[in-house]
Chains A and B, each alone.
Chain A
Amino acid sequence: MPTAIECRDLRKTYDDKVEAVRGLNLEIQAGECFGLLGPNGAGKTTTIEILEGLLAPTSGMVSILGHRWDENEREMREWLGISLQETRLSEKLSVRETIDLFASFYREPRSTDEVLEELQLTEKADSWVGKLSGGQRQRLAVATALVCNPKILFLDEPTTGLDPQSRRQLWDIIRVFQRNGGTVLLTTHYMDEAERLCDRLAIIDHGQVIAQGSPPDLITRLGGHHVVEFLVDGNSGGAQDVWRTLPSVESVREDDGLIALNVKQPHLTIPALLEAIERQGGKLQHLTTRQASLEDVFVRLTGRHLRED
């Protein structure tokens, strides 16, 4: 499969001070939906804007469908649909006028009505942008990206602020786009979204990729399959070391008194855990086990990362 987006050793330093991106490598295949995950300030927006050719990198190489920004910018713009993290479109224009305006910049855009229909904005076509709800504005922003009939869609937090219903609608739109051969690069803070929508993910922190792979792959590799969460009464200070040495435990996390163990084989861990609590003279208040999720991977990676700083 050809490469749609590629960057190598990307670096961006703002004002000679803030190192927002430090040596980032990505290779995204055509037809793929690729997600960038990371805590606030990780460098997602900076990365995506460099890939979109809106921000010059301090150093590094970017290639979009085999072309470089400094060589072929105008032509490349015809291929990309962009939705920025935060754009306030003109409030005094109607939804239709706004989409028509963006469509007019492209040589062969799609029909406005079709895009309105797809994003369920037909009803609001003649309302002013200023009168839309937050979620409707968000959908309009995606509509302005889709109307150009792009090959690659860049979406920076497209579903932030949407209700669950609208988020699912947007997922469907993205899937249809992808099914028709489009490539998608999106950033998100929603783990379920990343898990369901993205073929592959990169978790970014401090401007670097700290893990990459398909969601199931990341979960089995880094989430530890299962999570055992429990709460003990009494003296448990310094007990972290005890939990870590229990059989089959991969990592320990404490969250507001609740202890979470990433575990490969719960049937080995739990008996040993009960025994250890007994030995300490603690009293078990609460115990659950569940499948590991992407969230566990994320918290584990970025949480540990932050603590190590």
Chain B
Amino acid sequence: MIRIELPVSEKDVRKLKVGDEISLHGTIVTARDAAHKLMVEEWPKFVEPLLKNGAIYHCGPVMKKTGKSWKAVAAGPTTSIREEPYEAAVMDHYKVRFIIGKGGMGPKTLKACKDVGAVYLHAIGGAAPLLADTVVRTKAVHLLDELGVPEAFWEFEVDGFKGIVTMDSHGKSLHSALLRKSKKKRDAIIGI
């Protein structure tokens, strides 16, 4: 298990390889479909300090409000590939080092990992309370009224958020490797 403190330098991220198990410590920011669309359309300034050398988490959490503070009740990853059209531009613009989600992403994002110096971290899909319990504090929420709970930008301070690097800055992707392998299998099983 490799321990990473956020924000993190480009140099440190470039050392990571596909297959590395990571534990994250510091601030991660949730952003999913509506947030990504908004970022590439308006390039909001408020996210700049949040994402510089930081992490985007593809997650629409279940949150509970007690008094003035919000607590993450369940916060597992959502499917990342939906952000494929936007992510490369977002990574480049804001200099994001970690994209966290599930299911992996496509060639544009893989190229951005290489160009920008970033990795894709695969969290365990569905492991919502487990991952929520690594959120020690909800630091802030942005555009909650406009986007709703699942789509808002949640700033989470995490301690020991776990995941596996499945795309690295050296052009390697576990997802495309498995796709090739399983395609051969599929063709053999189907008989085409």
Q: Are A and B subunits of one complex?
A: no
